[in-house]
Structure 1
Amino acid sequence: MTNFADLMPRIATALVLVVVGGAAVWAAGPWFAALIAVVCGIMVWELARMIGADQKRSLALGGLSTGALAAAYALPLGLALPLLLAVPMAGIAALHLHRRIFMTFALAILFAGLGLTQHLTNFGLIWMLWLIGVVVASDIAGYFAGRLLGGPKFWPTVSPKKTWSGTVAGWVAAGLVGWAVMGVTTAGIDLIGISVALAMMAQMGDIAESAVKRKMGVKDSSNLLPGHGGLFDRFDAMLGAAVLLFVIESLAEFPPVPA
């Protein structure tokens, strides 16, 4: 029988996240930046706990991350970058084990947070909704296709529940979101490819976090979100997509223009 036992808690928690996140996106500016700073700080705290840091060090690294991202919103980018990089450097000094894991994921969390605030500031509401739509559609399509269609596992030793059917369904859903947004903007067909690439990177973020949890022998990053585990569990996909989008917007014209 198809297992949807976790569906209702996931939906209830997701609705709360949608309300809080939607209000912050709509308010934009310092409200959105503050939410991102707090969420990323909590994820760094969860990361530090997962790799075995004590509560004092975990809280200190999480608080430092929140402060660095809050300052990054208020400061010019050139002055903000050293503050963000200070977090993984502090982790190297404070942690005794798994420093490379902390350094890698803390950097991803911080630069994803920076990328999200800059994305909303520079491109506005419609393009933030597009990004959220790509990640959410990919996740939902993957969840249902994986459970309804089943089939070969994507990477069973790391993420036993993920299937190739769900993975590909996520790509298709993301491409459809890109196609739909093309219809209400002046973006070119490249947007479909970017949407699929973001879905792929979102899936890589999910897989990477699953690999860390498996290595550390933990089921969830924390128990803050019923049905979802921790914030790191819920937003690992968005982290991957946001990092790639930050790179795309830094290197190429965005939104993509028609050919």
Structure 2
Amino acid sequence: MSAQLAESPPRSTNRFHDLGIRTASAAVLIPLAVAALILGGWAWRLLILAFLAGLLWEWRALSRHVAAPNRKAFAVAGLAYAGLPAIALLWLRFLPHGPADILFLLVVVWATDIGAYAAGRLIGGAKLAPAVSPGKTISGAIGGLAIGILAGVIIARGPSGILPAALLSAVSQAGDLAESALKRRLGVKDSGRTIPGHGGLFDRLDGVLAAAPIAAGLALLAQGGVPLWR
């Protein structure tokens, strides 16, 4: 459930060397999220609370890399970083069109992830933000945006999905970059080891964490009575 920007092809002969790990994590997280979304009620609440607890646990571990005088501020930032998206997702689910809004959000973020990964690995090219994340490419960002918009149009069944999908796709990619910048500043490769072989929850959910409050804002503008893309 994250919008990871694609990396440029590694020097390995296999450009898709991590595809198996990505597929395995998606095979677990996506059905779990969709099932809880459909069930709603306590299933959705428990899923969000479980993810929130895992995120805060990872944030606590990351705080060890922060200078002691700054740890309190870092802890507060973590509460906002993980807590606001959790509140947004809980609130969205209980709107009249909440399930559709959340599905729109998740599909756009997932599609952005896939598009960015594929375009970045197949095309490569100029780096997007080498000082923050040397592997991410401009082609990956454009590919992710294009596929994210296409997914939004499909879910919305028309062009009304273009603008909200573009916004959510761009924000999800910005969330990925922000998390990369944080890890670089802290000197860590992954946010944690929650997902065996593929890092932590922040590594998988950074795009959703960034885009969820935006989706809630769009739903609020729509007054909760129509889908957020109307």
TM-score tier (shorter)? 0.7 to 0.9
Identify the residue that residue 255 of structure 1 maps to in structure 2. Answer: 227
Identify the residue that residue 118 of structure 1 maps to in structure 2. Answer: 91
Instruction: Report if the CA contact (8 A) 1:134-1:195 is conserved.
Output: yes
User: Is the partner of 1:219 in helix, strand or coil?
Assistant: coil
In structure 2, C-alpha distance between the alignment counterparts of 1:101 and 1:207, rounded to whole Å: 18
Identify the residue that residue 9 of structure 2 maps to in structure 1. Answer: none
Q: Deviations over 1:213-236 (max 9, x none)?
A: 111111111112134211111001
* 1:134-153 equivalences in 2 (<5 Å): 134-153=108-127
User: Is the partner of 1:52 in helix, strand or coil?
Assistant: helix
Q: CA deviation at 1:255?
A: 2.5
| Equivalent residue in structure 1 for 2:161, among 172, 188, 191 | 191
Instruction: Report if the CA contact (8 A) 2:192-2:200 is conserved.
Output: yes
User: Larger C-alpha radius of gyration, 1 or 2?
Assistant: 1
User: Is the partner of 1:161 in helix, strand or coil?
Assistant: strand
| Equivalent residue in structure 2 for 1:176, among 150, 157, 173 | 150
Aligned Cα RMSD in Å? 2.1
Identify the residue that residue 196 of structure 2 maps to in structure 1. Answer: 226
Identify the residue that residue 37 of structure 2 maps to in structure 1. Answer: 25
Identify the residue that residue 186 of structure 2 maps to in structure 1. Answer: 216
Structure richer in helix, relative to its length? 1
Q: Which amino acid aligns with 1:159?
A: S
Q: Which moved more, 1:162-171 or 1:95-104?
A: 95-104
TM-score (norm 2): 0.85
User: Is the partner of 2:60 in helix, strand or coil?
Assistant: helix
Q: Which amino acid aligns with 1:249?
A: A
Identify the residue that residue 103 of structure 1 maps to in structure 2. Answer: 76
In structure 2, C-alpha distance between the alignment counterparts of 1:207 and 1:99, rounded to whole Å: 24
* 1:5-154 equivalences in 2 (<5 Å): 5-52=17-64, 96-122=69-95, 123-154=97-128
Q: Kindly tell me: are residues 199 and 99 of structure 1, through their superposed partners in 2, closer, same or farther at Cα, counting changes over 3 Å?
A: farther
Identify the residue that residue 91 of structure 1 maps to in structure 2. Answer: none
Aligned residues: 214
TM-score (norm 1): 0.76
In structure 2, C-alpha distance between the alignment counterparts of 1:102 and 1:189, rounded to whole Å: 41
Q: Which amino acid aligns with 1:195?
A: A
Identify the residue that residue 160 of structure 1 maps to in structure 2. Answer: 134
Q: CA deviation at 1:146?
A: 0.3
In structure 2, C-alpha distance between the alignment counterparts of 1:172 and 1:161, rounded to whole Å: 20
Instruction: Report if the CA contact (8 A) 1:149-1:165 is conserved.
Output: yes
Q: Which moved more, 1:200-209 or 1:126-135?
A: 126-135
Q: CA deviation at 1:189?
A: 3.8
Runs in 1 of length 4+ with deviation above 4 angstroms?
Answer: none
Identify the residue that residue 3 of structure 1 maps to in structure 2. Answer: 15
In structure 2, C-alpha distance between the alignment counterparts of 1:24 and 1:257, rounded to whole Å: 23
Instruction: Report if the CA contact (8 A) 2:215-2:228 is conserved.
Output: no
Q: Percent identity?
A: 36
User: Is the partner of 2:135 in helix, strand or coil?
Assistant: strand
